[in-house]
Amino acid sequence: MKRPETTLFMLMSLDGKISTGDNDSLDADKDFPKINGVKEGIGQYYELEKKTDLYSLNTGRVMEKIGANRRKNPVKSPASFIIIDNKPHLTRRGVIFMAGWGKSLYLVTTNKKHPAFDLNIQNMEIIHSGKLDLKALFTKLKKKYGVGRITIQSGGTMNSALLREGLIDHVSVVVAPCLIGGKDTSTLIDGESLHAVKELKKIKSLKLKSAKILKNSYLHLNYDVM
């Protein structure tokens, strides 16, 4: 394979929501521990997360949401982070935090004014191009940087883009025992909806590899993308 092997690893509700609402004040990681019947088993997700690949792909948007631009003194992680951030969502302080958190930081951006360019961080590599080409990015990550496996934990929009480009090989989801609802609440796969029958080819079929019942009514499902 000319690109890294990838696994989409996420925590979601039974109805596929990866957040608890439609704004940044609501977040599954922050809110699930407050909900009776959900909080009791949430630790199982974090234990499984520790076993994921040592390269983790996410977006600046998600990192902003979890507070990277405000947090200080991160506990060092053995993982390296690949962060796609075009707007940018990460501030100077956020970039410093991410570099301090991971073994290495690969900052991917199309924005030549990204604050990362003003920083001299030893364990940070900036990958800049005029247009985000996900397939080319993944090929470069393997060929130039030796990235063999990636765990994807980004938001629904990026997950959708990666899926449509055929860049997700496996799906590993921990299903929390709750129903959240809300048409504007982010799901595992968001992005643009299909508009016509001819677009059904964009739907990716899955092959179930394992289904494990966890404690407190949680499930762990593993699929291969066909």
For the stretch 17-45, pLDDT in tens is 999 999 989 999 999 999 999 999 999 99
Q: What is the CATH class of 5-225?
A: alpha beta
**φ, ψ for residue 49 (rounded to 5)?**
-60, -35
Pairing of the two strands 105-109 and 170-176: unpaired
Q: Which value, in Å, is the radius of gyration of the alpha carbons in the chain?
A: 17
Cα–Cα distance list, 5 to 51, 56, 104 (Å) = 16, 12, 19
* Cβ contact 8:152 at 8 Å: yes
**What does the block give as tokens for 48?**
């499984």
Whole-angstrom CA distances from 36 to 31, 56, 207 are 11, 30, 33
Gap between the Cα atoms of 100 and 30, Å rounded: 22
Say how far apart CA 208 and CA 132 lie, in whole Å: 31
Separation of alpha carbons 83 and 154, rounded Å: 9
pTM summary value: 0.96
Task: Write down the domain spans for the chain.
Answer: 5-225
DSSP 8-state secondary structure symbol assigned to residue 216: G
Beta bridge partners of 172: 9, 222
Per-residue pLDDT 10s for the chain (226 aa) are 899 999 999 999 999 999 999 998 999 999 999 999 999 999 999 999 999 999 999 999 999 999 999 998 899 999 999 999 999 999 999 999 999 999 999 999 999 999 999 999 999 999 999 999 999 999 999 999 999 999 999 999 999 999 999 999 999 999 999 999 999 999 999 999 999 999 999 999 999 999 999 999 999 999 999 9
Distance, in Å, from the CA atom of 64 to the CA atom of 17, rounded to the nearest integer, reads 19
